[in-house]
Chain A
Amino acid sequence: NAGVTQTPKFQVLKTGQSMTLQCAQDMNHEYMSWYRQDPGMGLRLIHYSVGAGITDQGEVPNGYNVSRSTTEDFPLRLLSAAPSQTSVYFCASSSRRERSYEQYFGPGTRLTVT
């Protein structure tokens, strides 16, 4: 099993550009989520999904869109990049079969917006 994979690992965007961060998992997990991590702040939830076709907003959703057409994939779209979106983005998945809600994270995407 590859677990949770993310692409790209690094990305530099200019203000106003759009892009999609890819996330895939092969563990048949129902839950998937996107977090951003900034210095001095904990991981903050952007969007999450409890199953294919179902998504919802997290703590910091503005400027991002998601969709979940399959169990495996959960892409994150930046609509019009801003310098405030410079961050490290982590995708995570977990299974509701596990009461502990252990989350498995991808390796992250380091995004810089200039």
Chain B
Amino acid sequence: RKEVEQDPGPFNVPEGATVAFNCTYSNSASQSFFWYRQDCRKEPKLLMSVYSSGNEDGRFTAQLNRASQYISLLIRDSKLSDSATYLCVVNYSGGYQKVTFGIGTKLQVIP
């Protein structure tokens, strides 16, 4: 089983739709969780950290479910500019070298 698993998609959604991605992780000792965004042929950039209590940033909501070992990203009112690949990132044991990236979920927002 992969340490971090994501559905690669693509998820094709119309503008204005709400879309959610999940990411599962295998190591219960994981400590930090993040969502990164990667545009085509560009570098990944941090979208948001994921906190135990869940957190929201504008149209984006991230949640953590430790019992079931997954994190989620919800995007409301999708914009064309949201089209990108969303990478799930898990940090084990607080050590820098233990950062693991998922393969990413591709989102395409359609006019």
Contact = CB atoms under 8 A, between A and B. Distances in A.
Taking residues whose C-beta sits less than 8 angstroms from the other chain, chain A's interface range is 20 to 34
A90 B43 contact: yes
Contacts, number: 50
SS class, residues of chain A in contact with chain B = loop
A34 interface: no
A60 interface: no
Contacts of A107: 42-43
A74 interface: no
Contacts of A45: 97, 99
B101 interface: yes
A58 B101 CA distance: 13
Contacts of A31: 96
A100 B49 contact: yes
Nearest to B97: A48
B73 interface: no
SS class, residues of chain B in contact with chain A: strand
A25 interface: no
Contacts of B101: 35, 42-44
B46 interface: yes
Contacts of B45: 105
A113 interface: no
Nearest to A40: B103
B38 to A, nearest CB: 9
B96 A48 contact: yes
B61 interface: no
Interface of B: 4, 8, 32, 34, 42-46, 49, 87, 91, 96-97, 99-104
